[in-house]
Structure 1
Amino acid sequence: MRVKTEKKRSEIVSIAGELFLSQGYGSVSMATIAAAVGGSKGTLYGYFSSKEEIFAAFVVSAGQQRWQEFNALEKEAAGVEARLIALGRRYLRLLLSDEIMSVNRLVIAEAARFPELGRIFYDNGPKSVIGVIASTLQQSAAAGEIVIEDPVAEAWRFKSLCEARLVEQCLWGIRSGASEAEIIDNVRPACAIFLNSHRP
């Protein structure tokens, strides 16, 4: 029995991810992935039970470094405005990264035919982002800095405010990315609008 290794698993995820992005999710089969990896389907199934499971691993892998940066929000940031600006900046860096933009486009292109892609992407990306934002808002509310009734609902609103304009333009290929200055210019008014609605 062949011993499974993390190196081999990562290789499978990386190669499968390249295939998903270049050929589309629907065109890639387990046999296609096995051939590209250079092994048998038996070996592939030893690591993953389905193509959906490989795709989920690819989504996590694609955003891993950016996610760590996003989730490492400085706890010492003074005041709710500073914390929200830091949070918004880190979120846009995550979302506008080449890796996440590529996965986003893939999911949008294929989700109508393969609805499971949307659920996989949501569970491994946006759901976690919303959790971090909601937790930050809840902590600020507990400290009396803002007034909110539903942290999760308000997290979605804050997320949308930060995304305005920049995300659509990058997603549609109108622009190739955003500078740190452009991200700040998007986040500051988003935070101002949000805080104006939730000050004590």
Structure 2
Amino acid sequence: MPDGSEEPKKGRKFDQVLDGARKVFLCDGFDGASVDDIAKAAGVSKATLYSYFPDKRFLFMQVAKAECCKQAERAIETIDMDAPVQDVLYQAAREIGDFITSDFGMRIFRVCVGEGGRFPELGRQFYESGPLLVRDRLVTYFDKAIAKGDLIISDRELAADQFNELCRADLFPRMIFNMADSFSADEKQRVAKGAVDVFMARYGASK
């Protein structure tokens, strides 16, 4: 049984299976998703599905990894890295907030936490394709901002983790404790702006 760290076999219908699985996991969650339903949604046979993904957990992690990477790449493409540092950080904060409060983001987190005791590799793989990826992208940007004299940071990894947590303030606790399952644009804007204000007060070169 794959541990989630190995790469799946690629083929002509790989993306088709991945897209079908994404739709079913979003609709039914991990436990409720059946291989039959995933194969039907993907328009492939179960034999074809199993040729790419030997079990449902491995398929789920590949869906989660692909989605997290897609979100990260989309953020990189949409954010103007040459804009003033406050603008770049605000856009990044909004991207983080939008993802963690998205239906898919919520489901990924809840599944990984719920299944983490039985299948610890799920949590590890989610961390590597989600939070760790965000940290790496932020550190890369911090290097550029430090070189330009916009930020003063000695521990870039810690600063990236701090910024990530600031972007989740209020929203994430209400989400995980089922106090809310959707958030308005104003709520997310408030948190993103607050995250940038606090971060710049600590690390901004002109603080």
Matched, 1:76 2:82: yes
- Does structure 1 conserve the Cα–Cα contact (< 8 Å) formed by 2:72 and 2:133? no
- Does structure 1 conserve the Cα–Cα contact (< 8 Å) formed by 2:151 and 2:204? yes
- Does structure 2 conserve the Cα–Cα contact (< 8 Å) formed by 1:56 and 1:120? yes
The aligned amino acid for 2:168 is: E
Q: CA deviation at 1:194?
A: 1.4
Q: Quote the Cα distance in structure 1 between the aligned partners of 2:50 and 2:148.
A: 50
- Does structure 2 conserve the Cα–Cα contact (< 8 Å) formed by 1:66 and 1:93? no
- Does structure 2 conserve the Cα–Cα contact (< 8 Å) formed by 1:24 and 1:110? no
Aligned counterpart, 2:3: none
Aligned counterpart, 2:92: 87
Aligned counterpart, 2:184: 179
- Does structure 1 conserve the Cα–Cα contact (< 8 Å) formed by 2:30 and 2:60? no
Q: Quote the Cα distance in structure 1 between the aligned partners of 2:65 and 2:129.
A: 6
Deviates more, 1:50-59 or 1:165-174: 50-59
The aligned amino acid for 2:18 is: V
- Structure 2, unaligned runs of 5 or more: 1-9
Aligned counterpart, 1:33: 35
- Does structure 1 conserve the Cα–Cα contact (< 8 Å) formed by 2:163 and 2:199? yes
The aligned amino acid for 2:174 is: Q
1:89–1:199: structure 2 CA closer, same or farther, 3 Å change rule? same
Q: Counterparts of 1:151-162 in structure 2 under 5 Å?
A: 151-162=156-167
Q: Quote the Cα distance in structure 2 between the aligned partners of 1:184 and 1:35.
A: 37
Q: Quote the Cα distance in structure 2 between the aligned partners of 1:20 and 1:94.
A: 14
1:71–1:94: structure 2 CA closer, same or farther, 3 Å change rule? farther
Q: CA deviation at 1:66?
A: 3.6
Aligned counterpart, 1:188: 193
1:198–1:4: structure 2 CA closer, same or farther, 3 Å change rule? closer
- Structure 1, unaligned runs of 5 or more: none
Q: Quote the Cα distance in structure 1 between the aligned partners of 2:109 and 2:29.
A: 15
Aligned counterpart, 2:6: none
Aligned counterpart, 2:131: 126
Q: Counterparts of 1:93-112 in structure 2 under 5 Å?
A: 93-112=98-117
Measured on the aligned residues, the alpha-carbon RMSD in Å equals 2.7
Matched, 1:148 2:153: yes
- Does structure 2 conserve the Cα–Cα contact (< 8 Å) formed by 1:15 and 1:37? yes
1:133–1:36: structure 2 CA closer, same or farther, 3 Å change rule? closer
Matched pairs, number: 190
- Does structure 2 conserve the Cα–Cα contact (< 8 Å) formed by 1:67 and 1:94? no
Q: Quote the Cα distance in structure 2 between the aligned partners of 1:40 and 1:175.
A: 37
- Where 2:200 maps in the other structure, the secondary structure is helix
Aligned counterpart, 2:175: 170
Report the identity percentage. Answer: 23
Q: CA deviation at 1:165?
A: 0.8
Q: State TM-score, norm by structure 1.
A: 0.80
Q: State TM-score, norm by structure 2.
A: 0.78
